[in-house]
């Protein structure tokens, strides 16, 4: 069973109990960052967003059936007040809970059902190479994104490349991407950058990032770049757990292969996954 499948099971099995990202990660025997990457890559949705959507969907069905008062349903869904529940319910479904109760129907609501993950886009990965990386300096353009907004990253690369020639002391002409840790809402920082031998004067829109020496597991993504998250899903959910290694709280480094062609998305990317 994959890490994402385990997380879905924990969420569905404990639908009436308080759950945090830490608690779900502990039940899956991985770090919170590992869980966030595994679930997000497999589903395109942050763990806690899925949890809220599932509980609100169950609440909507209970409302439609009548019976319990709204406050009781709110408490069962993990909300401390009628007001907090109504706010979240309206954000999820664009209608207040009272409307669903009056209609006695969930017709028209975009209910979120339990996801089934096992058969989704399976990827067979080659065994990773293990390598140690020395101190790494990167100059790049960061932005905040989530698993459901990663389609914005290609445009971010285009913006970064406008500044590429103004970056001094580049070690290699091939750019690198840095994917940072994921927070409880499934947001993470993604930086489009290039490795440098030293930090010089750079445009104010760019940042300087220094990564200390670390061990990495290097996985090859050889297919079109649009399928990158299928590879990530296989790494987080099966490959890394089978290695018995722990994901470090550090950015994943995406190194485009020398033959990578940004015009077509072909050529492959090496994914350097940080290890404890």
Band of residue 41 on the pLDDT scale cut at 50, 70, 90? confident
pLDDT value at position 228?
87
The answer to whether residue 30 sits within a structural domain is yes
One domain for residues 269 and 133: yes
* CATH of residue 23: 1.10.10.60
pLDDT at 117: 54
Number of domains, the chain? 2
Is 124 a member of any domain?
no
Which among 69, 103, 137 is the end of a domain? 103
Classify 13 as helix, strand or coil: helix
Same domain, 135 and 244: yes
The verdict on residue 210 lying in a domain is yes
**pLDDT, average across residues 183-195:** 90
User: 160: part of which helix (H) or strand (E)?
Assistant: helix 153-161
Can you say whether the dihedral through the CA atoms of 77, 79, 85, 91 is positive or negative?
A: negative
pLDDT in tens, 52-69: 999 999 899 999 988 788
At residue 213 the predicted structure's pLDDT band, cuts being 50, 70 and 90, is: very high
* Per-residue pLDDT, 119: 47
Asked whether residue 254 is assigned to any structural domain, the reply reads: yes
Q: Are residues 78 and 159 in the same domain?
A: no
Does one domain contain both 141 and 91?
A: no
- Beta carbons of 194 and 177 less than 8 angstroms apart: no
- Average pLDDT of the segment spanning 148-177: 88
CATH number at residue 252: 3.20.80.10
Residue 120 counted as domain residue: no
Does residue 67 sit in the same domain as residue 141?
no
Write the DSSP symbol of residue 172.
-
Domain of 88, in residue numbers: 3-103
What average pLDDT does the structure give for the chain? Answer: 89
Q: Quick one: 41 and 165 in the same domain?
A: no
Q: Concatenated DSSP letters for 41-87?
A: HHHSS-HHHHHHHHHHHHHHHHHHH--S-HHHHHHHTT-SSHHHHHH
């Amino acid at each position: 069973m994959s890490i994402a499948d385990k997380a879905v099971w924990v969420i569905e099995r404990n639908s009436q109990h308080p759950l945090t990202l830490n608690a779900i990660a502990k039940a899956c025997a991985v770090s919170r960052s590992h869980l966030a990457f595994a679930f997000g890559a497999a589903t395109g949705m942050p763990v806690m967003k899925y949890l809220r959507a599932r509980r609100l969907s169950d609440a909507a069905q209970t409302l439609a059936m009548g019976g319990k008062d709204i406050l009781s349903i709110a408490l069962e869904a993990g909300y401390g007040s009628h007001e907090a529940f109504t706010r979240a319910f309206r954000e999820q479904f664009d209608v207040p809970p009272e409307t669903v109760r009056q209609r006695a129907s969930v017709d028209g609501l975009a209910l979120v059902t339990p996801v089934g993950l096992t058969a989704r886009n399976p990827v067979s990965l080659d065994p990773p190479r293990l390598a140690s990386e020395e101190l790494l300096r990167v100059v790049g353009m960061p932005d905040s994104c989530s698993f459901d907004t990663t389609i914005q990253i290609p445009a971010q690369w285009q913006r970064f490349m406008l500044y590429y020639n103004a970056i001094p002391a580049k070690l290699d002409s091939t750019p690198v991407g840095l994917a940072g840790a994921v927070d409880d809402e499934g947001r993470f920082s993604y930086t489009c950058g290039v490795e440098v031998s030293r930090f010089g004067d750079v445009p104010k829109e760019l940042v300087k990032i220094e990564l200390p020496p670390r061990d990495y597991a290097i996985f090859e993504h050889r297919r079109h770049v649009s399928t990158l998250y299928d590879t990530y899903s296989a790494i987080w959910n099966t490959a890394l757990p089978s290695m018995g290694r722990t994901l470090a709280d550090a950015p994943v480094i995406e190194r485009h292969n020398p033959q990578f062609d940004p015009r077509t998305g072909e050529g492959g990317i090496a994914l350097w996954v940080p290890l404890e």
